[in-house]
Structures are given as structure tokens and as C-alpha cells.
Amino acid sequence: MLDSETKAVELPEDHAEELRLWLRLLTCTTLIEGEVRGRLREKFDVTLPRFDLMAQLDKAPDGMTLSDVSKRMMVSNGNVTGLVERLVESGHLDRRTSETDRRVQVIRLTKLGRAEFRKMAAEHETWIADVFADLTPKDVRELMRLLAKTKASAQKSAGRRKA
């Protein structure tokens, strides 16, 4: 009893440190996401998912299929269907069936959609810069590196599950 702290004792593994890390990561993301969401809403009356979808399309002048979007945004297919529906409705997106495969829907930004997105994106970039304002360039680099490592580790873990 007096010797309960010997190093030989196998504790049932303590992962409290990783748990705290995960919670902190989640907190940061939630915080920033809420901030961006609120500003997009206030200044442009647009939702974050709509903005994200337009951001994907802005990088693809030749358009994307719904599946592509779904993979890139890491959301379900059904989700994209509805999102696209609303953005076509509001005139920001153009949607057409592929010539070579009639299952495929190709979507693009309309002229209006692109113009509005560019305006929003410019402001958005300054908001993000402001969010990270207190980090030094070195901090930013180091964080990028560690998050890359985290992403790789998480993907490996996810792979282990599905396999």
C-alpha cells in the first residue's frame, strides 16, 4: 500500500491529453466558424454553406459535378442537392446535365454568382486575417505543419475503421 506509485503499475492508459487537444481544436473552429457565419449573414445575408459552395466553384471555372462538390466539402450528396437547388433558384448557380453522362449534373457560378462571391471573398479574407492577428508568421507556419500532421493521422485512423 505504501508503494502504490511504482512505475510497474499498468494504468488503463490515460489519453486525457489528447482529449483536451481535441476539445481545444473544436473550440477554436467553432469560435471562428461562428464569427464568419455571423459576419456573412450581417454583411451579405448569405449562409456559410452557400459561401463554401461558391468558393469551391470559384476555383473551378469549368464547373464541377455534384459528387465533386460533395467530396470536397465533406458533406453528404443529399445535402449538396438541396444547397445547389437554392443557389440555382437565387440565380447564383447554373446547372446543366452532362453531354456525355446523363446522370451527371455540372454546376458553375453564374456571372452574378461570381461577382457576389468575389466581393464576399475579399472581405472574408480580412476577417480571417484578423482572427489570426496575434499569431506570428512562425506560429502560423508551425500550426500549418502540425495540422497537416494531424490531418494525416486522422485520415489514417479513419481508414483503419472503414477497412
Partner DNA sequence: GCCAATTGCTTGAAGCCTAAAGAAATTCGG
Partner DNA sequence: CCGAATTTCTTTAGGCTTCAAGCAATTGGC
CB of 111 to a second copy, least distance (A): 23
Do the Cβ atoms of 88 and 95 come closer than 8 Å? yes
**Which residue in 10, 45, 62, 134 binds a second copy (CB under 8 A)?**
134
What mask of x and - would describe binding to DNA in positions 59 to 78, judged by CB under 7 A? ------xxxx-x---xxxxx
State the number of binding residues for a second copy (CB under 8 A): 56
CA-to-CA distance for 163 and 161, rounded, in angstroms? 6
Residues 22-61 close enough to bind DNA by CB under 7 A: 34, 37-38, 41, 47-50
Do the Cβ atoms of 129 and 37 come closer than 8 Å? no
- CA 17-23-25 angle, 5° bins: 100
**Which residue in 25, 71, 81, 101 binds a second copy (CB under 8 A)?**
25
What mask of x and - would describe binding to DNA in positions 97 to 116, judged by CB under 7 A? ---xxxxxxx----------
Nearest to 32 by CA among 132, 123, 122, 119: 132
CB of 119 to DNA, least distance (A): 18
Residue 142 engages a second copy in binding (rule: CB under 8 A):
yes
CA-to-CA distance for 53 and 80, rounded, in angstroms? 9
Any bridge partners for residue 108, and if so which?
Answer: 94
Residue 146 engages a second copy in binding (rule: CB under 8 A):
yes
Cα end-to-end span (Å), the chain: 45
Do the Cβ atoms of 53 and 60 come closer than 8 Å? no
Do the Cβ atoms of 69 and 50 come closer than 8 Å? no
List interacting residues with a second copy (CB under 8 A). Answer: 13, 15-22, 24-35, 38-39, 74, 125-135, 137, 139-140, 142-144, 146-158, 160-161
List interacting residues with DNA (CB under 7 A). Answer: 34, 37-38, 41, 47-50, 65-68, 70, 74-84, 86, 100-106
